[in-house]
Amino acid sequence: MNKDDIAQIKQLLYTPKNIIIVPHKNPDGDAIGSTLGLYHYLKKYGHNAQVITPNDYPGFLKWTPGEETILKYDSQTKACNQAIAEADIIFTLDFNAFHRTGAMEPGLEASKAIKILIDHHQEPDDYPTYMYSDVNMSSTCEMIYHFIDMLGDTSEIDETISTCLYLGIMTDSGSFRFPSTTSTTHRVVATLIDKGAKNSEIHNQVFDTNSYNRLQLLGCALSNLKVLPELRTAYITLSQSELNRFDYKKGDTEGVVNYALSLENIIFAAIFIEDKQEGIIKISLRSKGGFSVNEFSRAHFNGGGHNNAAGGRSESSLKGTVENFLSILPNYKDALNHG
Ligand code: 5GP
Ligand code: MN
């Protein structure tokens, strides 16, 4: 984001505005942390700010400060549509294209509000009036920190904002271990702790609040794990009936794909999760090193994301989707073995 853009945004935010802040569908820690972090910052300037998520999010995020103010588009559509219609500014955070908001897409598309994108996914669309896009960033939360810094306002970052931003940097960086974690990321996180983020408590809230059923579901997923050593690939499936058996709740499968990637010599991991309600197979892809799961997902599974973490979907059956995956993989044998 250049100096002119920052000056113009500063000018815009000089007087109170109606501001909507939107993350992607199925919000994760970075989506919730970045939208609420920005929300608390804007509230300090007297803006009428409102976070609208396309749908609900996992229970392990439901302690985040300000979480109770969030409107959910799928269950509070009328109130959300009204807020969108009255918005002067819409911040779109942690996604690159309106279709990532599901049913919110047409309303966002039609809105005449000023749009400000802050995001670290590849290939952002051209809808934004102002765009802060950087695929090298660990998280959108880290970008919100830099955004507030560019506005000359780090002194406004208090314990509440720090807590929100710490959450998303922690979850999107795999607790500070993915290659996107830089020395700057650590400096930002150190500052957030200085400003009041209780790092150990945040880790506990997110990672140590499992239900018994969630761990049993993980056991089921691990027993479904398949390994293809010659393709350095491992994958996991979860059928709807397996999810039902362990009383699946949103977020219960978060991170499960990483177990497949943790195998020695494996650089590509996938999980296929049946969703009978939506009539799709939700796919999560992860890789290590140069093999781009973003490109793989864009080419074959209607999705995208980052080089080492991407999502996608398939409209065939669970069995058909896995067969399709297995038929595509040999084309990547060289890339997987030398990537
Ligand atoms: P997950 O596998 O956890 O759902 O997603 C991994 C990463 O890819 C996240 O950063 C997520 O935002 C992104 N992602 C997931 N699904 C899609 C998709 O359909 N399109 C794009 N562009 N990104 C996605
Ligand atoms: Mn993110």
Dump pLDDT digits (tens) for 153-193: 999 999 999 999 999 999 999 999 999 999 999 999 999 99
190 and 279, same domain (yes or no): no
Pocket probe mutation, ligand 1, options 28, 98, 294, max atoms within 8 Å of Cβ: 28
Q: Sorting pLDDT into bands at 50, 70 and 90, what band is 338?
A: confident
| Mutation choice for ligand 1 from 94, 121, 256, CB with most ligand atoms inside 8 A | 121
Atom of ligand 1 nearest to the CA of 257: 2
pTM: 0.95
Boundary residue ending a domain (186, 207, 228)? 207
Q: Which amino acid is at 226?
A: K
Same domain membership, residue 323 and residue 244:
yes
* pLDDT, tens digit, 9 for 90 and up, residues 216-243: 999 999 999 999 999 999 999 999 999 9
Residue 109, domain CATH: 3.90.1640.10
Angle at 202 between CA 119 and CA 188, to 5 degrees: 50
58 lines ligand 1 (CB under 6 A): no
Task: Let me know if 161 is exposed, middle or buried by CB neighbors in 10 A (0-12, 13-18, 19+).
Answer: buried
Q: Tell me the CA–centroid distance for residue 25 and ligand 1, in Å.
A: 10
How far apart CA 200 and CA 324 sit, in angstroms, is 42
15 SS3 class: coil
Verify that 227 and 334 share a domain, yes or no.
Answer: yes
Question: What's 157-223 look like in SS3?
Answer: CCHHHHHHHHHHHHHHCCCCCCCCCCHHHHHHHHHHHHCCCCHHHHHHHHHCCCCHHHHHHHHHHHH
Q: How far apart are CA 60 and CA 2, in angstroms?
A: 36
Which residues 6+ apart lie within 8 Å of 336 measured at CB? 231, 232, 233, 267, 268, 291, 329
- Ligand nearest to the backbone CA of 124: 1
Q: Are residues 130 and 243 in the same domain?
A: no
Q: Which of 235, 239, 232, 224 is nearest to 273 (CA)?
A: 239
Q: Which ligand is nearest to the CA of 31?
A: 2
Which residues place a Cβ less than 5 A from the ion ligand 2?
30, 94, 140, 172
DSSP string computed for 249-262? -TTTTTTTHHHHHT
3-state SS, residue 9: helix
Cα separation, 265 vs 263, whole angstroms: 6
Mean pLDDT confidence for 281-308? 96
The DSSP bridge partners found for residue 65 are none
107 and 185, same structural domain?
yes
Alpha-carbon separation of residue 42 from 75, 85, 162, 318 (angstroms)? 25, 19, 14, 44
CB of residue 284 inside a 6 A radius of ligand 1: yes
Report the phi/psi class of residue 46: left, alpha or beta, with left for phi > 0 and alpha for psi in -120 to 50: left
pLDDT tens for each residue of 21-42: 999 999 999 999 999 999 999 9
Ligand 1 close to Cβ of residue 311 (< 6 A): yes
- Place 201 in a pLDDT band, splitting at 50, 70 and 90: very high
Nearest to 63 by CA among 183, 159, 201: 201
From the alpha carbon of 283, which atom of ligand 1 is closest?
A: 2
- The partner residues of 272 in beta bridges, in order of sequence, read 237, 283
Pick the residue whose CA is nearest to atom 23 on ligand 1: 305
Q: How far is the CA of 219 from the centre of ligand 2 (A)?
A: 27
Nearest protein Cα to ligand 1, atom 22: 304
- Looking at the structure of the chain, the number of domains it has is 2
Give the number of the ligand closest to the Cα of residue 134. Answer: 2
Instruction: Tell me which residue range forms the domain holding 186.
Output: 3-207
Task: Based on the fold, state whether residues 113 and 189 are members of the same structural domain.
Answer: yes
Q: Retrieve residue 14's tokens.
A: 């000089």
Same domain? 192 vs 296: no
Please tell me whether residues 273 and 301 are part of one structural domain.
yes
Q: Are residues 103 and 49 in the same domain?
A: yes
Q: Are residues 147 and 274 in the same domain?
A: no
251 with 225, same domain? Answer: yes
In this predicted structure, what is the pLDDT of residue 339? 58
* Whole-number pLDDT of residue 1: 87
Chain-wide mean pLDDT for the chain?
97
| Residue pLDDT, tens place only, 277-291 | 999 999 999 999 999
Specify whether 254 is located in the same domain as 332: yes
Looking at this protein, which amino acid is placed at residue 280? I
**How much is the average pLDDT of 111-137?**
97
Of 192, 207, 222, the domain-final residue = 207
The secondary structure of residue 103, as a DSSP letter, is: G
Residue at which a domain ends, from 180, 207, 234: 207
Atom index in ligand 1 nearest the CA of residue 26 equals: 4
Cα–Cα distance for residue pair 305/294, rounded to 1 Å? 5
**Domain of residue 241, CATH code:** 3.10.310.30
